[in-house]
Chain A
Amino acid sequence: MTTDITSTEGTTGTTTEWPLWEVFVRSSRGLSHVHAGSLHAPDATMALRNARDLYTRRNEGTSVWVVPSAVIASSDPDSKGGYFESAQGKAYRHATYYTKSEGVKHL
């Protein structure tokens, strides 16, 4: 692991407070990294150390990612309707909507 002390890439620079980082923990092999929470740290290297202390205290981790919160683009909670709810009622997007054609095996 390289130590880059000066890199605060992707963080918004405030001089008084450490930037915020989002923490993703992979609990075991074959599973995805899951968002565990967030923390403050002066840089990425320290953010990883802090993530280990805060989010892998009970054997939860085999791998940890930290991402500057500032670089994450997220969907707008206020436009939930147009974004997500419009998918409701569209049963034809699900495989179960369709009936099996005759003679097709192993479905």
Chain B
Amino acid sequence: MSFASHDSATKISAGSAISAEEIAASGATAEPDVATYALYLGDDALMLAQRLGWWIARAPELEEDIALSNIALDQLGHARFLLTYAGTAWGKTEDDLAYFRDEEEFRSCRLVEQENGDFGQTIARQLIFSYYQHELFRRLVDSNDATLSAIADKALKEVQYHQDHAAQWVLRLGIGTPESHERMQKGLYYLWPYVDELFHDDDLTRDLSERGIAVLPSSLRADFDRRIAELLAEAELEVPDLPGAWGGDRSGEFSEHRGHILAEMQVLARQHPGATW
């Protein structure tokens, strides 16, 4: 914070933070491996944004409607940064990658593709993913890839809020009424088989983390497990003990839900290519 600020005490400015347009204009070009890693992270954010967007006008209360849409828009922002950066490797725009890839070309994990279910299931998905993202971005700020580091720095501030939102609801639903407790517990059980995939190392992440560019997924697991266990204990909920779902190593194997998500997300761009509004 500089003391030579020209901001007045009363005038509110938008402030400054990284934007997708700046990434595109920066001239930074990702090498193909780094671009694919950016797709891992960006596709996760894109799918989750699309899933959360479903709650708009459907959330239990107006205030919660706003909270979930805020989180969805934050995730969409992450997706825009990461897809823009990934596109620099292949001369593609964020829109090319979001709207004109087919389902087997996406690299999202299956957790974010799972259905919203009831509010408890959506919060369970938020809990798992935001705690994972927090551990990830907390370390990715130290990446020696300047663009990934800048994206992580911006995203981390947002994710801190996402995990707080999820944790507050887990506590309330867990300790609330017998019904809210049961729904929250069921949501956790339903989604737990998709947790392992978040922490799965493959050749790409092993190579990039050795070079100080990416974060090795398995290195996040211990902190994630510890923090989730602490919260669930406070919320009087069980940490599910379930084997991971079959497959799921970001190789292009994907859940049955992905096609449904993309059909809705891509239909307009494909029917009216180049349309703007």
Q: Are A and B physically bound partners? A: yes
Q: Given A18-B61, A42-B172, does the pair A60, B67 have CB atoms closer than 8 Å?
A: no
Contact partner of B63 (CB less than 8 A), chosen from A5, A27, A53, A60, is: A53
Residues of B within 8 A of A (CB): 9-10, 12-15, 61-64, 66-67, 70, 161, 164-165, 168, 171-172, 175
Question: How many interface contacts (CB-CB < 8 Å) are there between A and B?
Answer: 46
Query: Residue A58 at the B interface, CB < 8 A?
Result: yes
Q: Are A30 and B9 in contact (CB under 8 A)?
A: yes
Lowest 5 A-B CB distances belong to which pairs?
A50-B63, A53-B66, A53-B67, A28-B9, A59-B12
Q: How far is the CA of A54 from the CA of B62 in the complex (A)?
A: 10
Q: Are A50 and B12 in contact (CB under 8 A)?
A: no
Q: Could you tell me the dominant secondary structure of chain B's interface residues?
A: helix
Q: How far is the CA of A53 from the CA of B168 in the complex (A)?
A: 15
Number of interface residues of A (CB under 8 A): 23
On chain A, the residues within 8 Å of B13 by CB distance are 59
On chain B, the residues within 8 Å of A28 by CB distance are 9-10
Q: Are A54 and B171 in contact (CB under 8 A)?
A: no
Residues of A within 8 A of B (CB): 3, 5, 18, 27-31, 39-43, 45-46, 49-50, 52-54, 58-60
28 contacts between A and B (CB under 8 A): A3-B168, A3-B171, A5-B172, A5-B175, A27-B12, A28-B9, A28-B10, A29-B9, A31-B9, A31-B10, A39-B63, A40-B61, A40-B62, A40-B63, A42-B172, A43-B172, A49-B67, A49-B164, A50-B63, A50-B64, A50-B66, A50-B67, A52-B161, A53-B67, A53-B70, A54-B66, A58-B14, A59-B12
